[in-house]
Amino acid sequence: MQNHNLSSNFLDNIQIVLVEPSHLGNVGSAARAMKTMGLTHLAVVTDKDIITPESMALAKGAQDVLQAAMCYPSLNEALADSAIVAGTSARNRSVELPLYQPKEAVEHLAPHIIKGCKCSVVFGRERTGLTNEELLKCDLHINIDANPEYSSLNLAMSVQVLSYELRQHLITNMQDENFATNVKQLMQDRENFAPKPKHEDLESYYAFLEQNLIACGFFKGEHNENVLAQLRKIYAKADLTAHELQILYGTTASMIRHAVKIKA
């Protein structure tokens, strides 16, 4: 029972993010899907008022989760304080980042969640999903294995699948003694744990790189989105810690200052 309480707190480190849902009923259903699995933090990237008669009706007993949802004007703002981000997609080959099934993905996310990092799982628009640019903001991708002839689940149903797997791993598994021992070990290691950078710090580094690549004429007048996307993939593969990001930032900034001095 004690383990159970302990792991309930782990679910508190998880945020579900819906990007520009067009049907607000889906936001209510997503809140219900989350609450049934013990998740409470919902973020929505939207300029709409998400509290409508339809969303409230579909939330049913999860109206508290819906009413507490945070609305953001952009995905970057919704992810600002997240340290690990997973993006979900019905397409399974979009942007060569690590691609997992829900269960494997949760196994990958769990150590970060257990160590107290904020984790976001991002879901896309009903018609078009997440853009490649949005997927590139994620550390890993999740595809729910489905009928290849019709693989697009309803938005709230995919939230249900992921919320279920998160609960299975972080709560139900705690009944297993070996798992619980590993979790305790991970928690004891917390102090030696090198945290991942916050999403906003990574984004600020990418913006800094882009600005300086433009300034030094790397793009030869044209804005090369492809190179920037490749750079994001390289950094995503490196799985940087916050400290490593600081080193990269510091060394690059120092070289730039030096180059400016030589030029002057």
**Distance separating alpha carbons of residues 228 and 223, to the nearest angstrom:** 9
Q: Which of 37, 69, 97, 124 binds ligand SAH (CB under 6 A)?
A: 124
Q: Which of 58, 119, 123, 209 binds ligand SAH (CB under 6 A)?
A: 123
Q: Considering beta carbons, is residue 124 or 197 the nearer one to ligand SAH? A: 124
Q: What mask of x and - would describe binding to ligand SAH in positions 137 to 176, judged by CB under 6 A?
A: -----xxx-x----xxx-x--x------------------
**Distance separating alpha carbons of residues 202 and 249, to the nearest angstrom:** 10
Tokens of 261: 């001095």
Q: Using CB atoms within 10 Å of the CB of residue 13, give its burial: 0 to 12 exposed, 13 to 18 middle, 19+ buried.
A: buried
Position of minimal CB gap to ligand SAH: 129
Q: Considering beta carbons, is residue 164 or 179 the nearer one to ligand SAH? A: 164
Positive/negative CA dihedral, 221, 224, 228, 233: negative
Minimum distance of ligand SAH from residue 35's CB (angstroms):
19
Query: Are the C-beta atoms of 237 and 138 separated by less than 8 Å?
Result: no
Number of residues that bind ligand SAH (CB under 6 A): 19
Helices (H), 60-176: 63-67, 75-79, 102-114, 132-135, 155-170
Q: What mask of x and - would describe binding to ligand SAH in positions 88 to 117, judged by CB under 6 A?
A: xxxx--------------------------
Interacting residues with ligand SAH (CB under 6 A): 88-91, 123-124, 126, 128-130, 142-144, 146, 151-153, 155, 158
